[in-house]
Structure 1
Amino acid sequence: MQSGVNLLLGSMANFDQGVSPIIAVAMLSLAVGVLVGYLISGPWRGRLALVRPAPNAQEARRSSLYEKRQKILRRLQDDLDLLLENQVEVCNLMSTLVVRVQPGRSVAEMRRLMSTQHMRHLIVVDETERAVGVISDRDLLAVKDGIAADVMHSPVMAISPQSMLLPTVSHMIENNISCLPVVEEDCVVGIVTTTDLLLTLQSILRILQMERVSRSGETPQEDMVDCMI
């Protein structure tokens, strides 16, 4: 396995989440195209102010999603050329908090892990930290008991941190999958999911929204200021 290139190691679980990855990534691609045309038509007016979460948004998973969205938003604001030149790399939006399990981990333990860590995917790794399988929350719902090796989808598809976003999006559409492990030098360093793509889409739409307000001189509406996950 070589770093810096897409690693195609087989097939993975079909997407079975509440939001179709085809819809998610299609919206993301459309938003990138709109942003390119919009920004080229006039000067960029500086960084956007980041909002703070509403007081009632302290639940753990929502807070985690908010922080992740802000990280992506800051990265895109820092270098808009990443979008304009279609050079957004997977490392700019991937989640680095990856829950890894051994093939012998029980279904009950994995359910508890997903619940406490607010995760929908687990990466099964061997003793060398090499990805050997992927398990989704839907996979665990389909069984009563067993171990990771029994329910994991293996072998897996993987990408490198330097993989470009749009080819990654196309790859997820073509293979109808909801996540891709990110691997560097045979070790799992992150994961890209449809949630990450939706957070990226939300960041792009927010940049468009705030740029429109900046150009028009309008005062941001309350629903814009309080925009959350």
Structure 2
Amino acid sequence: MMIGVNALFGSMAAFDQEAAPIIAVAIMSLAVGVLVGYLLTRGWRNSTKSAQPDAGADEGRRSQLYEKRQVILRRLQKDLDLLLENQVEVRNLMSTQVVRVLPGRSVMEMRRLMSTQHLRHLVVVDETERAVGVISDRDLLAVKDGVAADVMRTPVMAISPQSMLLPTVSHMIENNISCLPVVEDDHVVGIITTTDLLLTLQSVLRILQMERISRSEPSPTEEFAEACSN
């Protein structure tokens, strides 16, 4: 692993110095993606059952992920300096359409809700909209019946929209959790999940690819100078 990392960083010397920060960010993001992927895989291995979504659910899920990735890509492209300076905040990546359930919602209803809306996490809130628990699809697979209060994970580990991305990722890995509710003024305003982090990795690599393509294509001035010299 160390040899591979050294080889990657060593190859950066062959590029223009201005491209080095982008490549470094991409490599760092790739490492984060590997860790997050491992976290997800280990979680699924520990599950005793597996869900088999139908083709329609798969298509809906893919469409949802594509739209979310495009949102993240546009946000990162809009202010590339945030990415290069490692100043990306959770609010730039989080999903704002959070599905909330009350503690009395039944397991059957929550399964149906997750299936129809292509969800993997639900936030349990009380009457004041304050987050009191989190439920994942794996949590629902582990039980036959009951209500949200019986299944939810507590206490809630929440972050603010202004939390920086890197410590957020570290927090998720260290605590072996796949999502974090984003809370502001005691109200849930979003959620960030391992899927969001993997989509961020994909977006960073896409930005790097576009940067490489733009640098490899000659500018109009260069094309004109070459034509005049022939």
| TM-score, normalised relative to structure 2 | 0.70
Task: Give the match for residue 83 of structure 1.
Answer: 83
Matches within 5 A, 1:1-229: 40-41=18-19, 59-217=59-217
Task: Work out which of the two has the higher radius of gyration on C-alpha atoms and give 1 or 2.
Answer: 2
| Rounded Cα–Cα distance in structure 1 between residues aligned with 2:177 and 2:16 | 31
Between 126-135 and 207-216, report the one with greater CA deviation.
207-216
Q: What per-residue deviation string (whole Å, max 9, x for no partner) do you get for residues 151-210 of structure 1?
A: 111111000001000110111111111000000000001000000000000000001111
| Rounded Cα–Cα distance in structure 1 between residues aligned with 2:178 and 2:95 | 14
* Counterparts in 2 of 1:186 and 1:129: CA distance versus 1, 3 Å: same
In the TM superposition, residue 59 of structure 1 has moved relative to its aligned partner by 2.5
Aligned residues: 171
Task: Give the match for residue 9 of structure 1.
Answer: none
| Rounded Cα–Cα distance in structure 1 between residues aligned with 2:17 and 2:70 | 21
- RMSD (Å) for aligned C-alpha atoms: 2.3
| Rounded Cα–Cα distance in structure 2 between residues aligned with 1:59 and 1:144 | 27
Q: What per-residue deviation string (whole Å, max 9, x for no partner) do you get for residues 50-80 of structure 1?
A: xxxxxxxx93221111111011101111111
Q: Check conservation: 2:21, 2:84, Cα contact below 8 A.
A: no
| Rounded Cα–Cα distance in structure 2 between residues aligned with 1:88 and 1:39 | 22
Q: What per-residue deviation string (whole Å, max 9, x for no partner) do you get for residues 205-225 of structure 1?
A: 00111111111129xxxxxxx
Task: Give the match for residue 18 of structure 1.
Answer: none
Point out the structure with the larger helix share: 2
| Rounded Cα–Cα distance in structure 1 between residues aligned with 2:167 and 2:21 | 28
In the TM superposition, residue 96 of structure 1 has moved relative to its aligned partner by 0.7
List gaps (5 residues or longer) in structure 2: 1-7, 23-57, 219-230
3-state SS of the aligned residue for 1:108?
helix
| Rounded Cα–Cα distance in structure 2 between residues aligned with 1:201 and 1:133 | 28
One-letter code aligned to 1:138: R
In the TM superposition, residue 41 of structure 1 has moved relative to its aligned partner by 3.7
Q: What per-residue deviation string (whole Å, max 9, x for no partner) do you get for residues 7-55 of structure 1?
A: xxxxxxxxxxxxxxxxxxxxxxx9xxx8xx97734899xxxxxxxxxxx
3-state SS of the aligned residue for 1:69?
helix
3-state SS of the aligned residue for 2:163?
coil
List gaps (5 residues or longer) in structure 1: 1-29, 45-57, 219-229
Task: Give the match for residue 33 of structure 2.
Answer: none
One-letter code aligned to 1:208: L
- Taking only the aligned residue pairs, the percentage that are identical comes to 83
One-letter code aligned to 1:87: Q
* Counterparts in 2 of 1:137 and 1:38: CA distance versus 1, 3 Å: farther
| Rounded Cα–Cα distance in structure 2 between residues aligned with 1:137 and 1:43 | 38
3-state SS of the aligned residue for 1:104?
coil
3-state SS of the aligned residue for 1:154?
coil
| Rounded Cα–Cα distance in structure 2 between residues aligned with 1:142 and 1:186 | 30
| TM-score, normalised relative to structure 1 | 0.70
